[in-house]
Amino acid sequence: MSITPLMPVYPRCGVRPVRGEHCHLISEDGTRYLDFASGIAVNLLGHSNEHLIGAIQRQAATLMHVSNLYGSPQGEHLAQRLVDLTFADTVFFTNSGAEAVECAIKTARAYHQHVGNTDKYELITFKNAFHGRTLATISASNQEKMHHGFLPLLEGFKYVDFDDLEGAKAAIGPNTAGFLVEPIQGEGGIRDASEEFLKGLRALCDEHDLVLIFDEVQCGVARTGTLYAYEQYGVTPDVMATAKGIGGGFPVGACLATEKAARGMVIGTHGSTYGGNPLAMAAGEAVLDVVANPEFLAQVNATGERLRGRLEQFIGNYPDMFELVRGRGLMLGVKMKIEPRPFVAHMRDNHQLLTVAAGDMTVRILPPLVIGDAEIDEFMDKLSAAAASYSVESPAT
Ligand SMILES: *Cc1c(COP(=O)(O)O)cnc(C)c1O
């Protein structure tokens, strides 16, 4: 047998973390890495946050899981907090981002079915989006590399250019149910939508009674310096998917919706065995305790600005390698002029610095939100050393 016990769907690298300490990961062989990837925007509080660990330990010892057939004081409490903190009136908890997006898609379809628009099932989505790896969520993305081998796709998605309001408007037809969009594309390369674009989508939804869904799985939960990115645009969605950071490393996701948009999501229409179980709720509560306050958010903004300033200054030293810095808060991307993947591997293998490659020639910089000047200094030292050794040893690949 040559297949590995772990289904070989990931191109796993040689780093084999066995322990985490604040903003560092320690590999099986003892090597220490600076983690500016955070499990892809997940470990908001770093790796050994006592508040999060304590909350999970206490809840694990009290009650881990019960069925959604019973009342959920834990779920009600976290849902109420999210309702109080956001545009939403109601919340469905999931175990992942894709499930949260899946619930959002169902919510939009169910809304139109419920109000009698029986032919409105199609969502307009945006090129280079990433919404997850289930059949519905790969169908929602135009990226063919995710479709290969899995056809036929789910019907009901139409792709138009990201940040192109005229294109989005022109795509509206008799079957259109709404728009599904990442306010800031993550996998697509840390590309933030313009305010004009998101405001325009909001206006189109209001005009045509369409559902506006934001996928904030990557950009949400304080990552960009506000609890959710939409706050910075002055636009509220009707439905929003959140996950990644919300459990701080424990699998938690949620689909948030207004009362109006959730009209079709009535008893029996949706479910999840694990979704919203007490252990997951304890993790979500602990993360919100830390991040959902103005001082913490101000700190994310200030830290993000310092890091961005340092990066912008630095890339000027290597005009052949780096093009620009973009993003918001601590969701930053460095667009490169050369292939980013080999450079990400070089930083990792030769300088013990973890980042993540993304589309559009971009390196994603997604540190834990709790970094301070010590981590920024260490990051800049490693990045400088990596750029110096890369340009000497292996010019543009
Ligand atoms: C990661 C991601 C998802 C999928 O989340 P999973 O937890 O991997 O299912 C969906 N949307 C966006 C924007 C993401 O970044």
Has residue 397 got a pLDDT over 80? no
Encode pLDDT of 324-373 as tens digits. Answer: 999 999 999 999 999 999 999 999 999 999 999 999 999 999 999 999 99
User: Are 385 and 332 found together in one domain?
Assistant: yes
- Amino acid at position 224, single letter: T
218 lines ligand 1 (CB under 6 A): yes
User: Are 215 and 286 found together in one domain?
Assistant: yes
User: Are 135 and 31 found together in one domain?
Assistant: no
Query: Can you tell me whether residue 212 is helix, strand or coil?
Result: strand
CA distance 176 to 122: 5
What is the pTM for the complete model shown? 0.97
How many C-beta neighbours within 10 Å does residue 122 have? 21
CA distance 115 to 230: 27
Tell me the average pLDDT across 293-304: 98
Tally of domains within the chain: 2
User: Are 311 and 233 found together in one domain?
Assistant: no
The predicted pLDDT at position 157 comes to 98
Tell me the average pLDDT across 185-199: 98
The range of the structural domain enclosing residue 333 comes to 17-49+294-389
Q: Whose CA is nearest to atom 5 of ligand 1?
A: 97
User: Are 45 and 70 found together in one domain?
Assistant: no
How many C-beta neighbours within 10 Å does residue 234 have? 10
Q: Are 122 and 289 in contact (CB under 8 A)?
A: no
Q: Which of 291, 314, 343 is the last residue of a domain?
A: 291
Between the CA of 378 and the centroid of ligand 1 the distance, in Å, is 29
The predicted pLDDT at position 369 comes to 98
Is 2 domain-assigned? no
User: Are 79 and 221 found together in one domain?
Assistant: yes
The CATH number covering residue 219 comes to 3.40.640.10
Between the CA of 215 and the centroid of ligand 1 the distance, in Å, is 8
Tell me the average pLDDT across 141-169: 98
Q: Which of 235, 263, 291 is the last residue of a domain?
A: 291
How many C-beta neighbours within 10 Å does residue 134 have? 17
Tell me what the pLDDT averaged over the chain comes to.
97
Phi, psi of 245 (to 5 degrees): -65, -20
Has residue 170 got a pLDDT over 60? yes
Has residue 318 got a pLDDT over 70? yes
188 lines ligand 1 (CB under 6 A): no
Q: Where are the beta strands (DSSP E) in 133-286?
A: 157-160, 176-181, 184-185, 191-192, 211-215, 239-242, 253-257
Is 94 domain-assigned? yes
User: Are 268 and 325 found together in one domain?
Assistant: no
The CATH number covering residue 357 comes to 3.90.1150.10
Tell me the average pLDDT across 27-51: 98
Tell me the average pLDDT across 158-176: 98
The predicted pLDDT at position 1 comes to 83
191 lines ligand 1 (CB under 6 A): no
CA distance 225 to 331: 9
- What does each C-alpha distance from 388 to 52, 334, 350 come to in angstroms? 38, 16, 12
Is 396 domain-assigned? no
Task: Return left, alpha or beta for 157; rule: phi > 0 is left, psi -120 to 50 is alpha, else beta.
Answer: beta
Q: Which of 273, 291, 309 is the last residue of a domain?
A: 291
Q: Is 215 annotated as a binding residue?
A: yes
Is 28 domain-assigned? yes
192 lines ligand 1 (CB under 6 A): no
Q: Which among 350, 260, 248 has a CA at the least distance from the CA of 289?
A: 248
39 lines ligand 1 (CB under 6 A): no
Share of the chain above pLDDT 90, in %: 98
Ligand 1: residue of 218, 239, 252 to mutate (most ligand atoms within 8 A of CB) is: 218
